[in-house]
Amino acid sequence: MSEFVRLEVDGGVGTIRLERPPMNPLSVQVQEEIRAAATEAAERADVRAVVVWGGEKVFAAGADIKEMQTMSYTDMVDRSAALQSSLTAVARIPKPTVAAITGYALGGGCELALACDFRVAADDAKLGQPEILLGIIPGAGGTQRLSRLVGPARAKDLIYSGRFVAADEALAIGLVDRVVPKAEVHDTAVAWMRTFAAGPAYALRAAKEAVDRGLETDLDTGLEIERMLFAGLFATHDRTAGMTSFVEQGPGKAVFEGR
């Protein structure tokens, strides 16, 4: 039974809920509980989309620095792969995902948000990669996912300076996708994911895989990934239902069963 991270499911939307007050620091235990929740969300058929949520006050203000301070070089050599892969487990959920950000998403918290497909932020939220202020760099995907999201120059600005980014700037540079009043963050994220929860699960999975894997390779390889995934969807029930509905009723009326 997880102590600090749990998966709650309602109406096809799973919420991975962090609850380690006051700031949701990402200790080794929390990292592993995130991995477990992400794995469960990926495997459960009743979870069609996922919200990652830190609560009404804070998303996650970074790593557990007190825990990390005592670690030696060899300790971190042993731990760093698991640190990265715990958040990569979120990125690899084969379903639409969104981070619902209130308060701070800093360091590892920002990296957790970057592992999601989308980010909804409160209008008073702050995001950033302040690891440089500790004499280190982001180590859980920040240098890679941030630069892919906002471009290398903006990523370097944030990583070199360690500065916090307000919600309006985060929206302007593409670090977040929507900014809403603080009280509406979770509901907005859930409502957004519900629009996907009723969609064709295997087509959404294929779309995510095509985009994510394509970004990791050259254009010709990406096109081949797309071609194979596209052709494979012709074996699904939802493809049959979608095309039949289109021919008989017009666009947008198909009912998908996720198979």
**What amino acid positions are annotated as catalytic residues?**
111, 131
Strand pairing partners for 51?
A: 15, 98
Nearest Cα residue to 5 out of 13, 107, 28? 28
The DSSP line for 154-191 is HHHHHHHH---EEHHHHHHHTS-SEEE-GGGHHHHHHH
Tell me which H or E stretch contains 143.
Answer: helix 142-150
Whether residue 200 is preceded by a cis peptide bond, meaning omega within 30 degrees of 0, is no
The total of other beta-carbon atoms located within 10 Å of residue 174's CB is: 12
Coil vs helix vs strand at 131: helix
| Distant-in-sequence, close-in-space partners of 87: CB < 8 Å, separation ≥ 6 | 31, 34, 108, 111, 112, 115, 140, 141
Torsion sign (Cα): 37, 38, 40, 45: positive
Give the CA distances from residue 127 to residues 67, 162, 210, 223, 229, in Å, rounded to whole numbers and listed in that order.
Answer: 22, 10, 28, 34, 35
C-alpha–C-alpha distance, residues 141 and 9, integer Å:
27
